[in-house]
Amino acid sequence: MKTPIIILHGWGLFGEKYKELRNIFGENGYKVFLLDLPGFGGEKLIKESMFLDDYVEFVEKFIDKNKLKKIILIGHSFGGRVSVKFAVKYPNQVEKLVLTGAPVIREKLNFKKNVISYLVKKLKILVPKPIEGQIKKIIYKFLGEWDYYKAKNLKQTFVNIINEDLTQNLKDIKTPTFLIWGENDKFVPIEYAGKANKLIEKSKLKIISNESHGLPYNNPELFAKEILEHIN
């Protein structure tokens, strides 16, 4: 009996986004669970403002409910953050950990973030109310903060998530970990994958040429092939 796989999705996405991956793993004898994390897909928020630990406990309850003893945990983007904390808190339940496009290295407030903050504040003074929202949309998208703009009722949760520093958690991971990154990931550049690789003791890093942040669902065949070679 092969170890079941749980896939945790990225911010603004949902479990079924990864259905092609589920099908490929299924053809290789794996039972795969695609979760909708609270606030996404068909899963409602557990509380108004959530933290990473809340998502970790959500996953733990799912595992307990389905009577799973050991799992292979695949975390994409935001799902990777949840996966890191889960692997540290429940190490005996994770046989192997896979992280892809996961923002697990906290960025300092850089020039770009300061530009966003400055421009958004100025909008309230300089721009007529009817077009303020439209211009905000352009600013956030152009400067790469699209996830925050789309967060809507999840904005405080989003802030809670990105403000948590996972550096120590990465050092505490004892589970064999496979980092697989798209070479052209603009949301979480490969330099952060390299830093995570150095911090996680039992980790291996694979960079996939000509692929982006959406590697798991844009090229599920290649993504699954790399993971199957690793976990088998």
Q: Looking at the predicted structure, is the pLDDT value of residue 136 above 60? A: no
Residue 39 pLDDT: 92
pLDDT greater at residue 158 or residue 16: 16
Average pLDDT over residues 10-36: 96
pLDDT in the model for residue 149: 39
In terms of Cα–Cα distance, which of 165, 157, 119 is closest to 12? 157
Q: Which amino acid is at 9?
A: H
Q: How confident is residue 107, by pLDDT bands cut at 50, 70 and 90? A: low
**pLDDT, mean of residues 53-63:** 98
- pLDDT greater at residue 146 or residue 159: 159
What confidence tier does 3 reach under pLDDT thresholds 50, 70, 90? very high
Cα separation, 103 vs 80, whole angstroms? 7
Give bridge partners of residue 179 from the DSSP assignment: 99, 205
What is the C-alpha to C-alpha distance for residues 45 and 40, in angstroms, rounded to an integer? 8
For the chain, give the mean pLDDT: 85
Instruction: Tell me how far apart the alpha carbons of residues 52 and 157 are, in angstroms, rounded to a whole number.
Output: 9
pTM of the model: 0.84
Other residues' Cβ atoms within 10 Å of the Cβ of residue 190: 18
DSSP annotation of 175 reads S
**Token representation of residue 79:** 């799902």
Per-domain residue ranges for the chain? Answer: 5-106+165-231, 111-150
Mean pLDDT, rounded, for 188-202: 95
Residue 131: band (very low, low, confident or very high) from pLDDT cuts 50, 70, 90: very low
pLDDT surpassing 70 at residue 144: no
Residue 66 one-letter amino acid: N
The mean pLDDT of 157-179, rounded to a whole number, is 92
User: Angle at CA 55, nearest 5°, toward 114 and 145?
Assistant: 20
Contact present, 90 and 173 (Cβ < 8 Å): no
pLDDT at 139: 39
Chain mean position to CA 13:
10
* Fold entry, domain 5-106+165-231: Rossmann fold (3.40.50)
pLDDT of res. 162: 81
pLDDT at 191: 94
Residue 176 contacts residue 150 (beta carbons within 8 Å):
no
Does 183 have pLDDT greater than 50? yes
User: Residue 24's pLDDT is what?
Assistant: 98
Nearest alpha-carbon partner for 34 in 75, 91, 3, 88: 75
**For 40, phi and psi rounded to 5 degrees?**
-130, 150
Q: How many residues does the chain have?
A: 232
Task: Using the structure block, give the residue that is written with the tokens 């990154």.
Answer: 181
Number of Cβ within a 10 Å radius of residue 110: 8
Q: Nearest Cα to 11, choosing from 198, 160, 203? A: 160
User: For the chain, what percent of residues have pLDDT higher than 70?
Assistant: 80
